Structure 1
Amino acid sequence: MAHFGFENDIHSILKLDMPITNAPMARWQRKASSSSAPALNGLSPGKSINVSLNSSKTPSKTPGKNKKQTPSKMGGDRFIPIRNSKQMDVASFLLTKENEPVETNNSAQSSENQKAWSVMLNGYNIDDAKILHIGGKSLNAPEGYQNNLKVLYSQSATPASVKKTRYISSTPDRILDAPELRNDFYLNLLDWSSRNTLAVALHNSVYLWNASQGDIILLMKLEREEDYVSSLSWTKEGSYLAIGTSDCNVQLWDVENQKRLRSMAGHTARVGSLSWNEHVLSSGSRSGHIQHHDVRVADHHICTLTSHSQEVCGLQWSPDGRYLASGGNDNLVYVWPRVQQGSVSNARQSVCSWSEHQGAVKALAWCPWQPNILASGGGTSDRHIRIWNVNSSSCLTSFDTQSQISSLVFAPNYKELVSAHGYAHNNVVIWKYPSLTKVAELNGHEDRVLSLTLSPDKSTIATMAGDETIRLWKSFELDPEKKKAKERRGISTSSVIHQSIR
């Protein structure tokens, strides 16, 4: 049995050395046949054609040697396992013929000749040959066919992809002269009411400027010349104005009747910051104390917050009334909970406290569309805008503005943040929120900008500076193209309107 198996193995090896007649041509055989293709150029139908597809040379194998064969010496094409020999003959012939120039007059006759030649070559019709054919007209798409991929590669700009640029004027709409304006970084002497009235403190007096009509009235004046107004804050309805003074008092005024309703004592130093939350008025003092007042009752004092060790120069209630943010000259930022009757002790515990700033924190602003987001700005030693998440007590963004920050406000019309600066830039900058990329710079003040406030329609900001001027910038109009068209026509908006606040 073993001997019989050995004979079978010898027999199979001998068969491998015999020519393989039914296998596809090797690559060297196809090259040999293609070299004879020019001889076919002079043939014409009717003559007998004898093309030999075999050669006397066959690839040799040497038993016992592990010699790697190149693909050119291997039998057949291992990448395309099925190859019809008739297709290869016709393809080789057609590729040779199509490289020759064809006269236009004999194009029809040439096509017929090619068909006749292909039939003679092993009786194969080129119309049935499945080969790659480059040339000719592309096929038309079926009627009603739509290619959805055209949308991806369309070069025409769609309305959604067109970038709309906003025009922001580099000059203010109006300049108000404010003589005897106190150039003190820690004071808050400017506020704009929901009834479109701007309140300005000039030394020991408070003036009201009606932004709709341009009328100016003197609301109050302190009795003693050495005293001065140190802070202002409108109620949400815009009918009452709270005034902090250097003699440690907080006054409440009925603006419509120009009458002082009450004066609330309790602080031991000047009141430099004020903020309303419905009927509760919060006041920050130079002593570092914050007091809550219920203005509806005679016994107005609710509680006192004593965490700051230096002057409280920034004070802002959140739009939803849940939190009070305070900033001081001790470089600290605190967030306090809402004051509720019967839970005074809880109000004295801060929700968050941050010490990352390296300068006085006067600039505070709550985001109107994200009530848990607070922005704060540091003084000359810090110069950073920091964005805080009150819920997580984390700092989301910290950005160096390279200039002292005196005030911050969010502009909801375009979801931007506006900052007022002192040394060294003395300007106003509009930032895109939350990326804090610079949108525009508003220059023109000749001294440090002390405060800024936003108009009730959120289209205009008023800035107060140490150069004793108040400038109004219409930087957030919802249709700024109208103003740009007016300036092109030379209408009065191109010239700044000057007016004195008193």
Structure 2
Amino acid sequence: MRLLDQVPPSTPRQACAVPLTVKRTPSRTTFSNTLSTRKRRRVSIPSFDLEAELGIPVSTELAVEETDADRFVAFRSPSSIPLHTTPRTNRIAKSFGLLDDRVLTYAEGPTSPSETKLRSLLRRSVTELFNIPRSTSSVSAKANLGARKQFVMALDGPGISRDPFAFSMTWSRANCIGVAFRSDVYCQNLETREIVHLCRVLADDGPVHSIDWRDQPQSHILGLGTTSGKVRVWDALSLSLVADWSGDGSPVGGMHWNESVLAVGRKDGRVSLYDLRTPEEIREAKGHKRHVHGVKWSPDGKYLATGDHSGNVHIWDQRAANYLTIGDKKLLAKHNGPVKAISWSPWQGGLVATGGTFPDGAIQIFDVNKISTVSPPLVIGTYTNVTSLHWSSHCKELLSTHGSSWTKSQTLYDYPPSAKETPTTPFTNSMTVHSYPSCERIVSVVGHSAAIAHSCIGPDGCSIFTVSPAEETIKMFRVWAAPGSQAKDDEQGLARKNAIR
């Protein structure tokens, strides 16, 4: 029987002895707040010494000023109008213990020193957990050239051509260097330290302007060109003349081998191609109108990059016997100054870097495989003469050598500036390594007191020889390291192996 049936009819339901439970629906103002005063009283945090647990000594000056401000509610100044603006709101808030809560008052509560110390320790521990230092690769120039900024060996170079566009030094795959001194060419084997006088050109032939070693397997073959247009090939083992292509009277610019084919830049804008198997010129590429300084074959031998005195850069396709084009134009790149420095990437086919001298002073990086998409080049501005470029074989880094610098306001009429007006920048007379594709400067080392006119990279892809005609010195620097090599940072050991006695 239900309980209400036991009550006499005369007894009103309000006088029933059994109390009724009335469920009250809270108003909209009685919302739950997890940060209220009552709920804060229910939370108990066990006391422990976090400093001893983590083993982190904390000084008073390292404590971070903490705040109890709500992260979802903006902190308001004391002049702001609070939410409890009516007596009814104050009564409701007081009954639920929210009168002093920050949701209504927007004020910070007092923070004890122990709580501040605890939060500082927690914040420091989390910061150290996620702050993982970025390690430097042992292959990168930052870990090699940046750590040891001194040269490994130095040679005297009296009589080196002072022409800033001359290629007076080359380094063969057999670890032999060749250096041109006026009309003489000398060779030194860095393994045996033997120095050999290779040849001497006649006075009427003019000084030697460019030299270059052939690649393997005949890395002992050296080609040379003079300012009078003579082109000859010598054998460094037998000290004999292999070929003589002296029929052209146009002065020589840069030159570079592709197997048995030698490409030679000319002052009249032509690029002559010679083959050791034939006594005459096999082909010539026409497209430049000024002196061709930079000449460089791609590693696969498919493309030939050339740069002239006007700053024009062309890419010649050996397979099609014609220049690569962008639309109806045969011009790949345009610098505002003469282009001597050209380098192809050994790890990405079609990637080439070119550098300009005054008044350009910029490095441009292209991908010839994206010519049809008219992809804009990456540009590194230096406002310094870019005399040579070398890609690393072991990492995505590019080295550039530089001469004198200038300001943006200087023009052709006030260059070269006087010694007092010459600005000094991190690029001046330096070797600088850039990362790819970010183009960030990794390290700059001033290896000479004067301009670096030329440089060549070694067969290991790690070392660089730099030439400074004004200083009359040749220096070798270790820029990169081969992956997995256990090379020690011992300058004396390297000097004993390579020094001339």
TM-score of the two chains, using structure 1 as the length reference = 0.65
Selected match of 1:201 from 170, 176, 180: 180
Three-state SS of the structure 2 residue aligned to 1:391 is helix
2: CA distance, partners of 1:410 / 1:374: 9
AA aligned opposite 1:437: E
1:412 aligns with one of 386, 390, 393: 393
CA distance change for structure 1 residues 208 and 24 in 2, over 3 Å: closer, same or farther? Answer: same
Partner of residue 186, structure 1: 165
Query: Matched residues in 1 for 2:398 and 2:238: separation?
Result: 36
CA distance in 2, matches of 1:259, 1:99: 95
Percent identity, aligned pairs only, is 26
| Two-structure CA RMSD over aligned residues (Å) | 3.3
SS in 1 for 2:488: helix
Q: What is the distance in 2 between the residues matched to 1:297 and 1:497?
A: 38
Question: d(CA) in 1 for partners of 2:151 and 2:496?
Answer: 9
- Does the C-alpha gap of structure 1 residues 305 and 480 become closer, same or farther in structure 2, counting only changes over 3 Å? same
2:458 matched to 1:455? Answer: yes
Bigger Rg over Cα? 1
| Alpha carbons 2:231, 2:245 under 8 Å: kept | yes
Alpha-carbon deviation of 1:154? 10
Equivalent in the alignment of 1:172: 151
Q: Which residue of 2 aligns with 1:399?
A: 380
Whether the 8 Å contact between 2:342 and 2:355 is mirrored in structure 1 is yes
Can you give the 5+ residue segments of structure 2 that lack an aligned partner in the other structure?
Answer: 1-19, 33-37, 45-125, 406-427
Which residue is equivalent to 2:432?
A: 429
1:475 paired to 2:479: yes
The alpha-carbon deviation at position 72 of structure 1 amounts to 4.7
What is the alpha-carbon distance in structure 2 between the residues aligned to residue 336 and residue 370 of structure 1? 18
- Rounded Cα–Cα distance in structure 2 between residues aligned with 1:223 and 1:462: 28
1:245 to 2:226 alignment: yes
Check conservation: 1:274, 1:315, Cα contact below 8 A: yes
Q: Cα deviation per residue 1:375-394 (whole Å; 9 max; x = unaligned)? A: 00001100000001112223
Q: Aligned runs of 1:90-105 on 2, under 5 Å?
A: none
The answer to whether the 8 Å contact 1:175/1:499 transfers is no
**Closer/same/farther in 2, CA of residues 423 and 353 from structure 1, 3 Å limit:** same
**Residue 300 of structure 2 is aligned to residue 326 of structure 1:** no
Residue from 443, 447, 469 that aligns with 1:444: 447
Q: In structure 2, the residue corresponding to 1:423 is in which secondary structure?
A: strand
Distance 1:406 1:195 in 2: 25
Q: Which residue of 2 aligns with 1:61?
A: none
- The letter for the 1-side match of 2:365 is I
Alignment of 1:350-365 (within 5 A): 350-351=324-325, 353-365=331-343
- How many residues were matched structurally? 359
d(CA) in 2 for partners of 1:242, 1:162: 44
**Is 2:305 the counterpart of 1:338?**
no
- Which AA in structure 1 matches 2:351? I
Contact in 2 for aligned 1:318/1:366 (Cα 8 Å): yes
Gaps of 5+ in 1: 1-20, 28-69, 80-93, 101-152, 340-345
Distance in 2 separating the partners of 1:449 and 1:96: 72
What's 2:28 paired with?
71
One-letter amino acid of the counterpart of residue 222, structure 1 = V
Matched, 1:366 2:369: no
Q: Give the letter aligned to residue 193 of structure 2.
A: G
* 1:259 counterpart = 2:262: no
The residue aligned with 2:425 is none
**Alpha-carbon distance, 1:330 to partner:** 1.4
Compute the displacement of 1:495 (Å). Answer: 10
Equivalent residue number for residue 421 of structure 2: none
Q: Give the letter aligned to residue 459 of structure 2.
A: P
Q: Which runs of 4+ in 1 moved over 3 A?
A: 94-100, 153-165, 348-352, 478-484, 491-500
Instruction: Report SS of the residue matched to 2:210.
Output: strand
Letter paired with 2:186: Y
Question: How far off its partner does 1:239 sit?
Answer: 2.3
- Structure 1 residues 219 and 493, CA, compared in 2 at 3 Å: closer, same or farther? closer
Q: Do the aligned partners of 1:166 and 1:480 also contact (CA within 8 Å) in 2?
A: no
1:364 offset after TM fit, Å?
Answer: 0.3
Q: Deviations over 1:93-123 (max 9, x none)?
A: x9999799xxxxxxxxxxxxxxxxxxxxxxx
Could you tell me which of 284, 294, 302 is aligned with 2:275? 294
Query: Residues 324-371 of structure 1, C-alpha deviation per residue, up to 9 Å, x if partnerless?
Result: 0000001100000115xxxxxx42444452343100011000011111
Q: How far apart are 1:450 and its partner, in Å? A: 1.2
